[in-house]
Amino acid sequence: MSVTQLPNAHYASLITAKNADLVGCEFDWLNSLRVKAAEGFSETGFPSPREEEWRYTNISPIEKSQFNLPTKAGAIDTRFLQNVLLDDCHHLVFVDGFYQPTLSSVIDLTEGVVVSAISEGVSEHEDLLKSLLDSVVETPALGFINFNTALFTDGAVISIEENTQIEKPIQIAFISSKEGALSIINCRNLVLAKAGSKATLIETYHGAEDSCYLSNIVTEVVVEPNANLSHNRLQAESLKAYHIGGVYSRLDNNAIFNQYNYNFGSVLSRSEVHAELGEASDCTLDGLYIAEDRQHMDNHTRVNHAQPHAVSNEFYKGIMNDRSKGVFQGRIIVALDAQKTDAKMNNRNLLLSDRAEADTKPQLEIYADDVKCAHGVTVGQLDDSAIFYLRTRGADEEMAKNMLTFAFANEMVERVKFKPLRIKILEELLKRFPQQGMKIEWL
C-alpha cells in the first residue's frame, strides 16, 4: 500500500523520511528495529474503532491534526518547572521529547545503578538497551508503539543493581513547552529492576496551558526475581493535548510490581498497562481518572497470569462530569498451567452529569481449574440521601456534592505512599472539587 493511500498519510510520510539524527542511529541493530517498526506502521497505520480493542476511542482528531516531529526543545518557565518537579527525588527532565541535563539532578547513586537519558548513555549502556528495547511489548505491536519505536527521540534508561535499594524516588518529568505546540513527543523508557532490588519510579506529564500537542510514550519494565518496584504515573497534560501512553511489564518469579495510574489532563487520552506474571509474583494495578467538559479517557489493563501461584489486584475508579467519557477495559488471562492463581479486578465509576458516559468492559479468560478470580463493576451517581444529610449539617448543595466526590476519589489518592506525589495529586483533585476552608496539609 502506498503512503498516499493510507488514512494517516502525513504520519506515514514522517516515518518513511530519513531520520539520520535519531538517538542511536550509529547502531545497526537499532536501525533494523526502527525499520521493522516503520514497515509495521506502514502496513497498519494507527488503530481505528473497527478494532475491538479501540471500539470506544476514535483517534481521527490526532490524524487530522497532523502533528510534526520537533527538532529541539523549547524554553520552560522556572516557576512552571518548580511546580512540576517533586521534592526529595532524583530528576530526569525531558522537554518536547529531548533530555535537559541542566534541569535534571541525579546524585549519590549506588555503584552499578544506572539512571540516565538514552541520549546520554546510548554508547555506554548499549548492551542494556539492546536487551530491554522491544523486549516486553506484545507483538504484533499496535500502531502507536510502532510509531514510537521508529521515531523515539529520547527517554530514560534505568537499571537497579542486584540487592540494591534506592532510597529516593526517581522522577521522569515529561514537559511540553509553548514552542512545542503541534509537535509529537515520542519517548521510550526502559527499566530493569534486578534480582532483590527495590525502587520507586514516578513518571509525570505536564504541558503549557492551552497548548495542543501529542504525547506518545512507551515504558518497558522488567522486574527480576524477588525485586520490588513501584511505578507511579501522573498525567496532567494541557486540556487541548492528546496523550497515548503505555506501561508494559514482565515479572519474574517472586517479583513485586505496584503500578499507580492517575489521569487528569488532555482532551483525549489512552492508557495501556500490561503485566505478564511469573511464578508466585505479585502485581497491583490501581488507577484514578477524572474527566470534565468533553474529555475522553480510555484505560486498558491486561494481566497475563502465565505461571502458577501469582497474585494480582486491580482497582480503578473514574469520575465523569459534563459531556466527558471514561472507558475502562480490563482483561485477566490465566494460562493452562497457572494453577493457584488469585486475581481480582474492580472498576467503579461516578457520573456527575446526565450527559457523561462510562463504558466498562471487564474480561476473564481462565484456562486453569484451580484458581480464585473475581471482578466487579459499578456505574452510578451521587447518593441523594448523602447529599441531603450534608446539607442538614450546614453544607450547600455544591459543597455537599464536592465533598462526596472528593471522598470517592481520595480513596485512591491515599494509596500513594510518597507524600510529595500524594500532595501533587491532591492539588489536581482540589482544582476540580474544591473544599471550602480545607488546607492541603491537613490531608
Please, is 159 exposed, middle or buried when counting C-beta atoms within 10 Å of its C-beta (0-12, 13-18, 19+)? buried
Per residue in 77-118, pLDDT tens?
999 999 999 999 999 999 999 999 999 999 889 888 999 999
Per residue in 278-323, pLDDT tens?
999 999 999 999 999 999 999 999 999 999 999 999 999 999 999 9
CA 367 to chain centre: 29
Contact assessment for residue 237 and residue 206, using Cβ atoms and an 8 Å cutoff: yes
Say whether pLDDT at 20 is over 80.
Answer: no
pLDDT band at 42 (very low <50, low <70, confident <90, very high): confident
Cell of 217: 510514550
Give Cβ neighbours of residue 393 (< 8 Å, ≥ 6 apart). Answer: none
The mean pLDDT of the chain is 93
Q: What is the pLDDT of residue 44?
A: 87
Contact assessment for residue 186 and residue 219, using Cβ atoms and an 8 Å cutoff: no
Residue of 174, 194, 193, 169 lying closest to 185 (CA atoms): 174
Q: What is the pLDDT of residue 5?
A: 39
Say whether pLDDT at 1 is over 50.
Answer: no
Cell of 212: 495542543
Domain spans, the chain: 3-277, 386-443
pLDDT band at 19 (very low <50, low <70, confident <90, very high): confident
Is the model more confident about 434 or about 184? 184
Each residue of 429-440: b (16+ CB within 10 Å) or e? beebbeeeeeee
Per residue in 219-272, pLDDT tens?
999 999 999 999 999 999 999 999 999 999 999 999 999 999 999 999 999 999
Contact assessment for residue 337 and residue 369, using Cβ atoms and an 8 Å cutoff: no
Q: Find the mean pLDDT for residues 131-154.
A: 88
Q: Find the mean pLDDT for residues 379-405.
A: 91
Q: What is the pLDDT of residue 140?
A: 59
User: Which residue type occupies 37?
Assistant: A
The structure's pTM equals: 0.95
With H, G, I as helix, E, B as strand and everything else as coil, classify residue 161.
coil
The conformation of residue 139, written as its DSSP 8-state character, comes to S
Please, is 24 exposed, middle or buried when counting C-beta atoms within 10 Å of its C-beta (0-12, 13-18, 19+)? buried
Q: What are phi and psi of 283, to 5 degrees?
A: -130, 130
